[in-house]
Amino acid sequence: MKIVAQIKEPVNQEMELFETKFREAMSSKVALLNRITYYIVNRKGKQMRPMFVFLTAKMLNNGTVNERTYRGASVIELIHTATLVHDDVVDESNKRRGFFSINALWKNKIAVLVGDYLLSKGLLLSIDNEDFDLLKIISVAVREMSEGELLQIEKARRLDITEDVYYNIIRQKTATLIAACCSLGACSVQPESPDVETFRKFGELCGMAFQIKDDLFDYGEDKIGKPTGIDIKEQKMTLPLIYTLNTCSKSDKKWLINSVKNHNKDKKRVKEVIAFVRNNGGLDYAVKKMLHFKEEALKILATYPESTYRDSLELMVNYVVDRKK
Protein backbone atom coordinates (compact mmCIF):
# COMPACT_ATOMS: atom_id res chain seq x y z
CA MET A 1 0.00 0.00 0.00
CA LYS A 2 1.29 3.44 -0.85
CA ILE A 3 2.39 5.45 2.16
CA VAL A 4 -0.26 8.20 1.71
CA ALA A 5 -3.04 5.59 1.44
CA GLN A 6 -1.68 3.94 4.59
CA ILE A 7 -1.73 7.25 6.49
CA LYS A 8 -5.27 7.93 5.26
CA GLU A 9 -6.72 4.50 6.03
CA PRO A 10 -7.99 5.17 9.60
CA VAL A 11 -9.85 8.28 8.37
CA ASN A 12 -11.04 7.03 4.94
CA GLN A 13 -14.73 7.34 5.81
CA GLU A 14 -14.31 10.83 7.25
CA MET A 15 -12.32 11.95 4.20
CA GLU A 16 -15.06 10.74 1.84
CA LEU A 17 -17.77 12.56 3.74
CA PHE A 18 -15.48 15.59 3.99
CA GLU A 19 -15.26 15.72 0.16
CA THR A 20 -19.02 16.20 -0.04
CA LYS A 21 -19.13 18.76 2.74
CA PHE A 22 -16.20 20.65 1.24
CA ARG A 23 -17.92 20.90 -2.16
CA GLU A 24 -21.04 22.24 -0.43
CA ALA A 25 -18.97 24.78 1.50
CA MET A 26 -17.61 26.13 -1.80
CA SER A 27 -20.91 26.46 -3.65
CA SER A 28 -22.19 29.82 -4.90
CA LYS A 29 -25.08 31.29 -6.89
CA VAL A 30 -22.60 32.64 -9.45
CA ALA A 31 -22.11 30.21 -12.34
CA LEU A 32 -18.55 31.41 -13.10
CA LEU A 33 -17.53 30.86 -9.47
CA ASN A 34 -19.00 27.36 -9.45
CA ARG A 35 -17.14 26.51 -12.63
CA ILE A 36 -13.84 27.65 -11.10
CA THR A 37 -14.39 25.96 -7.72
CA TYR A 38 -15.38 22.74 -9.54
CA TYR A 39 -12.05 22.97 -11.39
CA ILE A 40 -10.21 23.48 -8.06
CA VAL A 41 -11.91 20.56 -6.28
CA ASN A 42 -11.17 18.14 -9.12
CA ARG A 43 -7.47 18.96 -9.06
CA LYS A 44 -6.86 18.57 -5.36
CA GLY A 45 -3.56 17.33 -3.97
CA LYS A 46 -2.97 14.70 -1.31
CA GLN A 47 -5.15 16.62 1.19
CA MET A 48 -2.66 16.22 4.01
CA ARG A 49 -4.19 19.11 5.94
CA PRO A 50 -7.69 17.64 6.44
CA MET A 51 -5.99 14.33 7.29
CA PHE A 52 -4.09 16.06 10.10
CA VAL A 53 -7.42 17.45 11.41
CA PHE A 54 -9.23 14.08 11.40
CA LEU A 55 -6.33 11.98 12.70
CA THR A 56 -5.75 14.37 15.61
CA ALA A 57 -9.45 14.51 16.48
CA LYS A 58 -9.90 10.72 16.33
CA MET A 59 -6.74 10.08 18.33
CA LEU A 60 -7.91 12.36 21.15
CA ASN A 61 -11.58 11.33 21.08
CA ASN A 62 -11.61 7.51 21.10
CA GLY A 63 -11.85 7.22 17.32
CA THR A 64 -14.83 9.53 16.81
CA VAL A 65 -15.30 12.97 15.27
CA ASN A 66 -18.20 15.44 15.22
CA GLU A 67 -19.65 18.11 12.94
CA ARG A 68 -17.18 20.65 14.31
CA THR A 69 -14.32 18.46 13.11
CA TYR A 70 -15.76 18.46 9.56
CA ARG A 71 -16.20 22.23 9.70
CA GLY A 72 -12.65 22.66 10.98
CA ALA A 73 -11.30 20.55 8.11
CA SER A 74 -13.41 22.47 5.57
CA VAL A 75 -12.31 25.85 6.94
CA ILE A 76 -8.64 24.92 6.80
CA GLU A 77 -8.96 23.60 3.24
CA LEU A 78 -10.89 26.69 2.08
CA ILE A 79 -8.26 29.00 3.59
CA HIS A 80 -5.38 26.90 2.26
CA THR A 81 -6.90 26.86 -1.25
CA ALA A 82 -7.43 30.64 -1.10
CA THR A 83 -3.75 31.17 -0.23
CA LEU A 84 -2.63 28.89 -3.09
CA VAL A 85 -4.78 30.80 -5.60
CA HIS A 86 -3.34 34.11 -4.34
CA ASP A 87 0.22 32.69 -4.28
CA ASP A 88 -0.01 31.77 -7.96
CA VAL A 89 -0.95 35.36 -8.77
CA VAL A 90 1.90 36.76 -6.63
CA ASP A 91 4.42 34.31 -8.15
CA GLU A 92 3.02 34.77 -11.68
CA SER A 93 2.82 30.98 -11.80
CA ASN A 94 0.94 29.31 -14.66
CA LYS A 95 0.95 25.79 -13.26
CA ARG A 96 -0.18 24.21 -10.00
CA ARG A 97 0.34 20.44 -9.45
CA GLY A 98 0.83 19.96 -13.18
CA PHE A 99 -2.44 21.72 -14.11
CA PHE A 100 -3.03 25.28 -15.25
CA SER A 101 -3.42 27.71 -12.34
CA ILE A 102 -6.58 29.80 -11.92
CA ASN A 103 -4.77 32.98 -13.00
CA ALA A 104 -3.47 31.23 -16.14
CA LEU A 105 -6.98 30.21 -17.18
CA TRP A 106 -9.09 33.10 -15.90
CA LYS A 107 -6.57 35.96 -15.43
CA ASN A 108 -5.30 37.64 -12.27
CA LYS A 109 -8.36 39.76 -11.46
CA ILE A 110 -10.66 36.74 -11.29
CA ALA A 111 -8.06 34.66 -9.40
CA VAL A 112 -7.72 37.33 -6.69
CA LEU A 113 -11.51 37.57 -6.32
CA VAL A 114 -11.87 33.77 -6.16
CA GLY A 115 -9.20 33.69 -3.42
CA ASP A 116 -11.11 36.39 -1.50
CA TYR A 117 -14.36 34.44 -1.94
CA LEU A 118 -12.84 31.21 -0.56
CA LEU A 119 -11.32 33.09 2.37
CA SER A 120 -14.66 34.68 3.29
CA LYS A 121 -16.48 31.33 2.85
CA GLY A 122 -14.07 29.77 5.32
CA LEU A 123 -14.53 32.52 7.90
CA LEU A 124 -18.33 32.53 7.51
CA LEU A 125 -18.51 28.75 7.94
CA SER A 126 -17.11 29.26 11.45
CA ILE A 127 -19.17 32.36 12.25
CA ASP A 128 -22.49 30.87 11.06
CA ASN A 129 -21.97 27.89 13.37
CA GLU A 130 -20.57 29.98 16.23
CA ASP A 131 -17.29 28.08 16.19
CA PHE A 132 -15.47 31.12 17.53
CA ASP A 133 -12.67 29.07 19.09
CA LEU A 134 -11.96 27.46 15.70
CA LEU A 135 -12.22 30.85 14.00
CA LYS A 136 -9.56 32.30 16.30
CA ILE A 137 -7.13 29.47 15.45
CA ILE A 138 -7.57 29.94 11.71
CA SER A 139 -7.47 33.76 11.84
CA VAL A 140 -4.13 33.69 13.68
CA ALA A 141 -2.80 31.32 10.99
CA VAL A 142 -3.89 33.66 8.15
CA ARG A 143 -2.25 36.64 9.84
CA GLU A 144 1.01 34.75 10.43
CA MET A 145 1.14 33.39 6.86
CA SER A 146 0.84 36.91 5.44
CA GLU A 147 3.52 38.22 7.82
CA GLY A 148 5.85 35.34 6.95
CA GLU A 149 5.54 35.94 3.20
CA LEU A 150 6.17 39.68 3.60
CA LEU A 151 9.14 39.09 5.92
CA GLN A 152 10.66 36.77 3.31
CA ILE A 153 10.19 39.38 0.55
CA GLU A 154 11.74 42.08 2.76
CA LYS A 155 14.77 39.91 3.58
CA ALA A 156 15.26 38.78 -0.05
CA ARG A 157 15.78 42.42 -0.99
CA ARG A 158 18.60 42.83 1.51
CA LEU A 159 19.96 39.25 1.74
CA ASP A 160 20.71 39.81 5.44
CA ILE A 161 18.91 36.80 6.82
CA THR A 162 20.08 34.93 9.93
CA GLU A 163 19.19 31.37 10.84
CA ASP A 164 16.74 32.63 13.49
CA VAL A 165 14.97 34.89 11.00
CA TYR A 166 14.76 31.96 8.55
CA TYR A 167 13.07 29.80 11.23
CA ASN A 168 10.71 32.65 11.95
CA ILE A 169 9.81 32.96 8.25
CA ILE A 170 9.12 29.24 7.75
CA ARG A 171 7.26 28.99 11.05
CA GLN A 172 4.87 31.71 9.91
CA LYS A 173 4.78 30.91 6.21
CA THR A 174 4.34 27.12 6.31
CA ALA A 175 4.34 25.64 9.80
CA THR A 176 1.54 27.84 11.14
CA LEU A 177 -1.05 26.27 8.80
CA ILE A 178 -0.14 22.68 9.76
CA ALA A 179 -0.12 23.81 13.42
CA ALA A 180 -3.65 25.19 12.86
CA CYS A 181 -4.80 21.83 11.37
CA CYS A 182 -3.69 19.89 14.41
CA SER A 183 -4.98 22.38 16.98
CA LEU A 184 -8.31 22.60 15.08
CA GLY A 185 -8.61 18.82 15.22
CA ALA A 186 -7.96 18.87 18.96
CA CYS A 187 -10.19 21.88 19.62
CA SER A 188 -13.12 20.41 17.65
CA VAL A 189 -13.41 17.47 20.08
CA GLN A 190 -11.68 18.75 23.24
CA PRO A 191 -12.27 22.51 23.44
CA GLU A 192 -10.25 24.25 26.17
CA SER A 193 -8.11 21.16 26.74
CA PRO A 194 -4.29 21.44 27.03
CA ASP A 195 -4.19 19.11 23.98
CA VAL A 196 -5.11 22.09 21.76
CA GLU A 197 -1.78 23.80 22.50
CA THR A 198 0.18 20.50 22.54
CA PHE A 199 -1.04 19.66 19.05
CA ARG A 200 -0.46 23.18 17.81
CA LYS A 201 3.18 22.65 18.80
CA PHE A 202 3.21 19.19 17.20
CA GLY A 203 1.87 20.60 13.91
CA GLU A 204 4.36 23.46 14.00
CA LEU A 205 7.30 21.02 14.35
CA CYS A 206 5.96 18.95 11.40
CA GLY A 207 5.62 22.13 9.35
CA MET A 208 9.19 23.22 10.10
CA ALA A 209 10.53 19.83 8.97
CA PHE A 210 8.27 19.97 5.89
CA GLN A 211 9.60 23.36 4.76
CA ILE A 212 13.27 22.47 5.28
CA LYS A 213 12.65 19.36 3.18
CA ASP A 214 11.14 21.59 0.46
CA ASP A 215 14.20 23.86 0.61
CA LEU A 216 16.49 20.84 0.22
CA PHE A 217 14.76 19.86 -3.04
CA ASP A 218 16.18 23.03 -4.57
CA TYR A 219 19.64 21.55 -4.17
CA GLY A 220 18.61 18.12 -5.45
CA GLU A 221 19.43 16.54 -2.12
CA ASP A 222 18.77 13.03 -3.42
CA LYS A 223 21.73 11.64 -5.30
CA ILE A 224 19.52 11.32 -8.39
CA GLY A 225 17.60 14.54 -7.78
CA LYS A 226 18.34 17.26 -10.28
CA PRO A 227 19.08 20.57 -8.55
CA THR A 228 16.67 23.24 -9.71
CA GLY A 229 18.12 26.41 -8.18
CA ILE A 230 14.68 28.07 -8.24
CA ASP A 231 15.14 29.55 -4.75
CA ILE A 232 18.48 31.03 -5.79
CA LYS A 233 16.92 32.54 -8.94
CA GLU A 234 14.24 34.11 -6.71
CA GLN A 235 16.87 35.26 -4.18
CA LYS A 236 15.25 33.17 -1.43
CA MET A 237 17.69 32.57 1.39
CA THR A 238 17.12 29.05 2.66
CA LEU A 239 18.89 27.07 5.39
CA PRO A 240 21.61 25.34 3.28
CA LEU A 241 22.71 28.72 1.86
CA ILE A 242 22.43 30.58 5.20
CA TYR A 243 24.63 27.98 6.94
CA THR A 244 27.22 28.12 4.15
CA LEU A 245 27.31 31.94 4.21
CA ASN A 246 27.87 31.87 7.98
CA THR A 247 30.71 29.35 7.87
CA CYS A 248 32.69 30.13 4.70
CA SER A 249 35.60 32.56 4.26
CA LYS A 250 35.09 36.29 3.71
CA SER A 251 35.99 36.09 0.02
CA ASP A 252 33.69 33.08 -0.58
CA LYS A 253 30.87 34.88 1.22
CA LYS A 254 31.37 37.91 -1.02
CA TRP A 255 31.27 35.66 -4.11
CA LEU A 256 28.11 33.86 -2.87
CA ILE A 257 26.21 37.08 -2.12
CA ASN A 258 27.28 38.60 -5.45
CA SER A 259 26.13 35.41 -7.24
CA VAL A 260 22.69 35.41 -5.60
CA LYS A 261 22.25 39.16 -6.00
CA ASN A 262 23.58 39.80 -9.49
CA HIS A 263 23.99 36.48 -11.29
CA ASN A 264 20.92 34.54 -10.17
CA LYS A 265 19.67 34.13 -13.74
CA ASP A 266 23.00 32.72 -14.96
CA LYS A 267 22.48 28.93 -15.06
CA LYS A 268 26.19 28.13 -14.87
CA ARG A 269 26.70 30.43 -11.87
CA VAL A 270 23.62 29.02 -10.07
CA LYS A 271 25.04 25.50 -10.57
CA GLU A 272 28.33 26.67 -9.08
CA VAL A 273 26.51 28.09 -6.04
CA ILE A 274 24.61 24.80 -5.57
CA ALA A 275 27.86 22.81 -5.80
CA PHE A 276 29.58 25.16 -3.32
CA VAL A 277 26.72 24.85 -0.81
CA ARG A 278 26.73 21.05 -1.15
CA ASN A 279 30.49 20.77 -0.77
CA ASN A 280 30.61 23.02 2.28
CA GLY A 281 28.15 21.16 4.48
CA GLY A 282 25.06 23.28 3.79
CA LEU A 283 22.86 20.29 2.96
CA ASP A 284 24.14 18.10 5.81
CA TYR A 285 23.42 20.87 8.28
CA ALA A 286 19.88 21.44 6.94
CA VAL A 287 19.15 17.68 7.04
CA LYS A 288 20.34 17.57 10.68
CA LYS A 289 18.00 20.42 11.63
CA MET A 290 15.07 18.87 9.73
CA LEU A 291 15.54 15.57 11.58
CA HIS A 292 15.69 17.45 14.88
CA PHE A 293 12.22 18.95 14.24
CA LYS A 294 10.94 15.52 13.21
CA GLU A 295 12.23 13.88 16.40
CA GLU A 296 10.68 16.61 18.57
CA ALA A 297 7.30 16.02 16.88
CA LEU A 298 7.56 12.25 17.43
CA LYS A 299 8.41 12.83 21.11
CA ILE A 300 5.07 14.63 21.56
CA LEU A 301 3.16 11.72 19.97
CA ALA A 302 5.00 9.22 22.18
CA THR A 303 3.32 10.75 25.26
CA TYR A 304 -0.11 9.57 24.03
CA PRO A 305 -1.52 6.00 24.17
CA GLU A 306 -0.91 3.76 21.16
CA SER A 307 -3.64 3.69 18.50
CA THR A 308 -4.01 3.36 14.74
CA TYR A 309 -4.47 7.16 14.64
CA ARG A 310 -1.22 7.74 16.48
CA ASP A 311 0.49 5.29 14.10
CA SER A 312 -0.82 7.25 11.12
CA LEU A 313 0.39 10.55 12.56
CA GLU A 314 3.83 9.00 13.12
CA LEU A 315 3.82 7.79 9.51
CA MET A 316 2.84 11.30 8.44
CA VAL A 317 5.76 12.87 10.34
CA ASN A 318 8.20 10.40 8.74
CA TYR A 319 6.63 10.91 5.31
CA VAL A 320 7.19 14.67 5.60
CA VAL A 321 10.97 14.14 5.65
CA ASP A 322 11.20 11.03 3.48
CA ARG A 323 9.04 12.18 0.54
CA LYS A 324 10.59 12.41 -2.90
CA LYS A 325 8.70 15.49 -4.12
pLDDT reported for residue 90: 73
Q: Are 206 and 214 in contact (CB under 8 A)?
A: no
Is residue 317 included in any domain, yes or no?
no
pLDDT reported for residue 98: 67
Is residue 90 included in any domain, yes or no?
yes
- For 96, the 3-state DSSP assignment is strand
What's the burial of 235, exposed, middle or buried (CB within 10 Å: 0-12/13-18/19+)?
Answer: middle
What's the burial of 4, exposed, middle or buried (CB within 10 Å: 0-12/13-18/19+)?
Answer: middle
Q: What is the pLDDT along the chain (325 residues), one digit of tens a residue?
A: 588 888 999 999 999 898 888 888 878 888 888 888 877 776 666 788 999 999 999 999 989 999 999 999 999 988 888 888 777 777 777 766 667 777 877 878 888 888 888 889 888 989 999 899 999 999 999 999 989 988 888 877 777 788 999 999 999 989 999 999 999 999 999 998 999 999 999 999 999 999 999 889 888 755 434 457 778 887 788 899 999 998 989 999 999 888 888 887 888 888 889 899 999 999 999 999 999 999 999 999 999 999 999 999 999 999 988 887 7
Q: What is the pTM of this model?
A: 0.89
The pLDDT tens digits of the residues spanning 167-189 come to 999 999 899 999 999 999 999 99
Distance from the first to the final alpha carbon of the chain = 18
In the chain, which ranges are E strands? 95-96, 99-100
Distance CA 71, CA 187 (A): 12
Is residue 150 included in any domain, yes or no?
yes
> 127 lies in which domain range?
3-305
What CATH number does the domain containing 25 carry? 1.10.600.10
Is residue 260 included in any domain, yes or no?
yes
Nearest to 210 by CA among 26, 30, 1, 52: 52
Is residue 323 included in any domain, yes or no?
no
Structurally, the chain folds into a number of domains equal to 1
Is residue 133 included in any domain, yes or no?
yes
Is residue 138 included in any domain, yes or no?
yes
The pLDDT tens digits of the residues spanning 191-214 come to 989 999 999 999 999 999 999 998
Distance CA 182, CA 285 (A): 28
- Give me the DSSP letters along 290-313: HHHHHHHHHHHHHTS---HHHHHH
Is residue 130 included in any domain, yes or no?
yes
